[in-house]
Chains A and B, each alone.
Chain A
Amino acid sequence: MIIMDDKKKNLLKSSLGVIALLVVLLLLPLIQTSMMPFIMNLLIMSFIYICLAESWNILAGFCGLLSMGHCAFFGLGAYITVMVIIYFDMTLLLAILISVLFNSILAYIIGAISIRVKDIFFAMVTLAVAQLLFSLSMQWVDVTRGPRGLIMPPLYNLDRRYLYYIALAMVVIYVAIVLLIRRSRLGTMLLSLRDNEILAKSLGVNTSKWKIVATIISAVMASLVGSFYILYIRSVQPGSVFTFDVTMKIMIVAFIGGRGTAKGPILGAIIIIIDELIRGWLGGTYAGLPGIIYGLILALFVVFMPNGLISIFNLKDKSTSRSAPKKEVI
């Protein structure tokens, strides 16, 4: 009989759980019921937010750069993809590549900004960039058609089931990327930026370079989700991608799951499912209620459970999660 130590046992247990979950998710679309489109929509929406939260995690969880305009990358990805297809009549793949290129340029600029400004300044710069893009997409009616938004041409009309598998694959890849980054040299560098930038600098870490690299990785990830979003929803309006609500949802997913962890957002996606259910249940009545619940959840989680849901499950991701806030010594 093979004797396993605790660590291996835990690893086996958690990997068995992950495999079981994956198999269930893979087989799910094969079931034929009338509820299936609804369930699939729920899952795809939560997959989108898991991916976005993973990309946000690289900036905010690893580097400590609290990005409050993450919807800018996501929305720009969606907008550029559909604009290239509509106005220049290019193929989908090329459109996605171009949107990634644009996002990298934006990320380079924001990364360059992040070298100069910190904490709340960085948060405000990213917020302002998102606001800028929102105003631009609202006002530049000739190109973006203003608040009515842009509609994807019917050429790329994929079956919902394929989209589901694409989204699932994206989630798996994104989680793997974040895990890999965490375990690589790059992850260690980024964590050192978060914990003590001056010390990291003095030890010879090129902080400016790694900040820009992290921003670009994060932006490209968010941009690809944006391209997927336009394939799935088939239309994009300024109000649905560039508003603060989107950033809010991303942050809530990341926070509830556990900031700075790779597996956290998967748990955090529960909130997206709950949200869609509440919205469906309430319909158009009680317009502000979901937002109130969101705000309460966010504030209460930061106060009472700063490490997120993942701290309950006690998965082997502890090293990256933040320690509980210490009381300030006076």
Chain B
Amino acid sequence: MGSLDFPSFMTILISGLCTGGVYGLFSSSFSFQLGALNVADFSFGSWLMLSMYLTFFMYKEWNIGIIPFGVILFGSYFIISFLMSKFIYIKRKTDDNMIITMGISLIIQNAATLLFSSYPRSLGIIEKTIVVGGVQITITKLIMLFLSAILLLGFQLFLNKTWTGKTIRAVVQNKEVASLMGINSNRVINLAFSLSYVMLAASGIMLVTLFSVEPTAGGFYQMMSFFICIIAGLGNIRGAFFSGLLIGFLTAILNIISSQFAMVMMFLIFVIFLVVKPTGLFTAKSRG
């Protein structure tokens, strides 16, 4: 740690902060599922990994433009998650859901191994950097930070301003009363679940520009998103974004202290945090 000068220290921290932004995006979608919709989704990380893979192949092999690809990806994620929610998750208890989603995660992960091989793939973008007083900031990461912030802001606005968003919040707050007011609660929950999956697909596209992807990557992102939404407090979407930034920051610092034991320390902090304060730092006033 002693050999590190201030500008490179700041470079690492800012890069951690920017990746933290994307972490924040997919974690807030996970937080929305778990906290607001009460679905313990263990296949989350694998779907994220699949979206990263598909983006990679779209860019490198298939020659589809980004807009048609986005439409196809978001559409298929929306439909698949709607069906999963409708036929599987909504009817069952939490621990059954955990096992089912785990099975689905296993299928996706191994299908990726079978189809794409376990070799890690990276887009290998040559990044432009801007230098401010010796501190290097890569433009891609900066764009991703702002993009994820904008997406989340859009989602928040959707929840607060539109009719559909309001029904989602009503159902999350009290399912029975919402049903009495003439809202089709189950359909609203399915819809909300699908929306969180669209957000997931978007963060997959963004993640693959920053990191390489391999079939086992899902487990790591799953763990990260769980960690982040615990720190934020379950169901707190805005808090999840900020604690994503915090985790990005923390990862960078741990890597500076000791890159060998960074992951070990990370999990240790996670376990200690879960024991000491399972309700989260940014405690949510209302869920959702």
Contacts and interface: CB of A to CB of B under 8 A. Distances in A.
A135 interface: yes
Interface string A178-202: 0000000000000000000000000
B114 A132 contact: no
Nearest to A126: B271
Given A120-B34, A328-B91, A330-B179, A132 B104 contact: no
B274 A295 contact: no
Contacts, number: 133
Given A288-B111, A288-B112, A295-B106, A330 B175 contact: yes
Contact of A121 (B112, B267, B274): B274
Contacts of B278: 116-117, 121
Contacts of A120: 34, 40, 94, 98
B95 interface: yes
B93 interface: yes
The bracket for how many chain A residues form the interface is: 35 or more
Given A121-B278, A135-B264, A330-B175, A291 B98 contact: no
Contacts of A280: none
Nearest to A113: B275
B226 A124 contact: yes
Nearest to B107: A295
Interface in B257-274: 260-261, 263-264, 267-268, 270-271, 274
B185 interface: yes
A183 to B, nearest CB: 25
Contacts of A112: 275
Interface in A291-310: 291-292, 294-300, 302-303, 306
A66 interface: yes
Contact of A139 (B91, B263, B270): B263
12 contacts: A119-B95, A124-B230, A125-B274, A131-B267, A132-B271, A135-B267, A136-B264, A244-B219, A292-B110, A300-B103, A325-B96, A328-B90
Interface of B: 34, 40, 88, 90-96, 98-100, 102-115, 117-118, 175-176, 179, 185-186, 215, 219, 223, 226, 230, 260-261, 263-264, 267-268, 270-271, 274-275, 278
